[in-house]
Structure 1
Amino acid sequence: MSRIVAVHGVNQYDPARGPEEAADRLGAAWARALGHNLPRPLGGNDLAMAYYGDLVHAARPVRGAQGTREDIDQLTPEAVDAVLRWGELLGVSTQEAQGRALAPVRWIADAVARRYGLDHDLVRQFVARFFPDLLAYLHTPARKQVQQRLADAVARQRPRVLIAHSLGSVVAYDTLWQRTDLKVDVLVTIGSPLAMPDVVLPHLQHPGGFRSGSRPPGAAAWINIADPGDLVAVPQPLTDTFRGVTSCLSSGIGAFRMHKAGGYLRSAATAKAVLPYLDRAL
């Protein structure tokens, strides 16, 4: 058994490895990063990764004969609409973008980069990867497969901590609501888009509709950590949208960096969140 089960975010498909090997490799990287601010490094059996990158990758559509799964100009109409809604949320006017039939998504990505002082190419790459993965999870049969992977990991490992990054926080939230028999002492969400209106929030799987979001019954506590500069963890704070969030931390930990997990995992805020739930020997 592992004391921590982790759920990764987008863009983690590893074509050179099968699901089990990919999970082990990514889990080891997360354990190293998470142990950075703990009293001692995490051991090889302390963290188990619930890997689903292969499932969402296979479910992502390819639009057009020349399109690829990472071509910002070949996103599906559904992904284009999600990017437009995201741009609006970040204060970017989408009127001009909507008039650009050939490259509205590229225009939004560049406008966000200019507004927040980010590298244009990196923002384009992020958009081309994040939204197809997100929509593949939310709107294809892969959703049930992804949830089953996580449910199996939690049932097998019986962890105290479930830590979930980015899209993984949506997977964790959905799974804990769908499988109320699963129990963890704390759900730690980092860089979470759960509250993103139009794009994510209306599609969450919990009873009572999207306006009734709350801590899943299987999580005794819920800690959310969001960097103020994270352009995916919006709107903040999560407590404005969800009931039962035990603690909502927002600190400038420099975690965005195109929404990678490493900054969050190495932060003192995340170490402080998980440490009380680990063995005293740690």
Structure 2
Amino acid sequence: MSRIVAVHGVNQYDPTRGADAAAARLGAAWARALSQNVPSPLGASELSMTYYADLLQAAHPAPEGQGPGDDVDRLAPEAVDAVLRWGELLGVRTREAQGRVLAPVRWVADGVAKRYGFGHEPVRKFVARFFPDLLAYLHSPARTRVRQRLADAIARHEPRVLIAHSLGSIVAYDTLWQYTDLKVDVLVTLGSPLAMPDVVLPYLRHPDDSRAFSRPPGAAAWVNLADPGDLVAVPQPLTDTFRGVTACVSTGIGAFRMHKAGGYLSSAATAKAVLAYLEPIG
């Protein structure tokens, strides 16, 4: 039994390990990061990671011969469309990229990098990794298997805290709406893209449409944390789109860590949100 069940974000596939070993390794890293601002370190059994990257990898294997330098130019058409919509949210005039640029995704990524003061290559790599995972979850049969894996983990551990980063926040939200008998004291989301119009919002599923875009019934509370410069957590705040969010916390995690799980987990704001729903550790 773990008091915390965690759900990772994109780009976590580990081809050298099976799912259980990869989950254990990633969960230990999350526990170490989260322990930086708690009274005593989290024990090995305190946090259980729900690993699902293997399921997404099966849904969108990398094209043969694809390397880190050409990923951004070889995205599927639906991913290209999602990147263009994302660029519009961030103030990049993507209409100029359509039909007039041979590499529209690269053009948008570079426009975002310039606008927000990031290096071109890190933003290109981020785009190439984020959008294929996001679309593989939203638009493939892997979605059902991912939700089932998380539902099984929550049922097994009966955690007080469900903490999810990036794409994992969509997985957590989806799962709690699909399996309304599951209960947690708090859903903690970090750098969440849940409110992203066109790309994410239209594909969220709610069995009860009257409660669409609201805190899942199985979460007694919902705390969202977002760096104000996070290029994925857009638009902010989440309360503008979702009802029943207990708190939206704007927390800076560093200019060059604007969407990294480690940056969020090691922040005092995240520790405070988690500890508020746990008995004292130690």
Q: TM-score range by the shorter chain?
A: over 0.9
CA offsets 1:115-152 (integer angstroms, 9 cap, x no match): 00101110000000000000000000000010011001
- Shift of residue 96, structure 1, vs aligned partner: 1.7
Higher mean C-alpha displacement, 8-17 vs 93-102: 93-102
Count of matched residue pairs: 281
State the identity as a percent.
76
Q: Which residue is 2:55 aligned to?
A: 55
Distance in 1 (CA, whole Å) between partners of 2:207 and 2:86 is 25
Q: Which residue is 2:252 aligned to?
A: 252
What letter is aligned with 1:8? Answer: H
Q: Which residue is 2:233 aligned to?
A: 233
- Shift of residue 276, structure 1, vs aligned partner: 1.8
Q: Which residue is 2:221 aligned to?
A: 221
CA offsets 1:201-223 (integer angstroms, 9 cap, x no match): 11011135599300000000000
- Shift of residue 255, structure 1, vs aligned partner: 6.9
Distance in 2 (CA, whole Å) between partners of 1:32 and 1:240 is 33
Distance in 1 (CA, whole Å) between partners of 2:127 and 2:221 is 32
Q: Which residue is 2:123 aligned to?
A: 123
Distance in 1 (CA, whole Å) between partners of 2:77 and 2:248 is 34
Q: Unaligned 5+ residue runs, structure 1?
A: none
Distance in 2 (CA, whole Å) between partners of 1:43 and 1:73 is 43
Asked whether the equivalents of residues 195 and 234 of structure 2 are also in contact (C-alpha less than 8 Å), the reply is: yes
CA offsets 1:57-96 (integer angstroms, 9 cap, x no match): 1111556x65469711110110000000000000000122
Q: Which residue is 1:31 aligned to?
A: 31
Specify the SS of the correspondent of 2:257.
coil
CA RMSD in angstroms comes to 1.8
Q: Which residue is 1:76 aligned to?
A: 76
Asked whether the equivalents of residues 7 and 164 of structure 2 are also in contact (C-alpha less than 8 Å), the reply is: yes
Q: Which residue is 1:181 aligned to?
A: 181
Specify the SS of the correspondent of 1:173.
helix
Asked whether the equivalents of residues 37 and 267 of structure 1 are also in contact (C-alpha less than 8 Å), the reply is: yes
Asked whether the equivalents of residues 150 and 172 of structure 1 are also in contact (C-alpha less than 8 Å), the reply is: yes
- Shift of residue 260, structure 1, vs aligned partner: 1.4
Q: Which residue is 1:139 aligned to?
A: 139
Asked whether the equivalents of residues 35 and 42 of structure 1 are also in contact (C-alpha less than 8 Å), the reply is: yes
Asked whether the equivalents of residues 123 and 258 of structure 1 are also in contact (C-alpha less than 8 Å), the reply is: no
CA offsets 1:8-44 (integer angstroms, 9 cap, x no match): 0000000000000000000000000001100111000
Runs of 4 or more consecutive aligned structure 1 residues displaced over 6 Å after TM superposition = none
Higher mean C-alpha displacement, 87-96 vs 199-208: 199-208
Q: Which residue is 2:196 aligned to?
A: 196
Q: Which residue is 1:86 aligned to?
A: 86
| Matching of residues 258-269 of structure 1 within 5 Å | 259-269=259-269
Distance in 2 (CA, whole Å) between partners of 1:52 and 1:25 is 13
Distance in 2 (CA, whole Å) between partners of 1:17 and 1:210 is 43
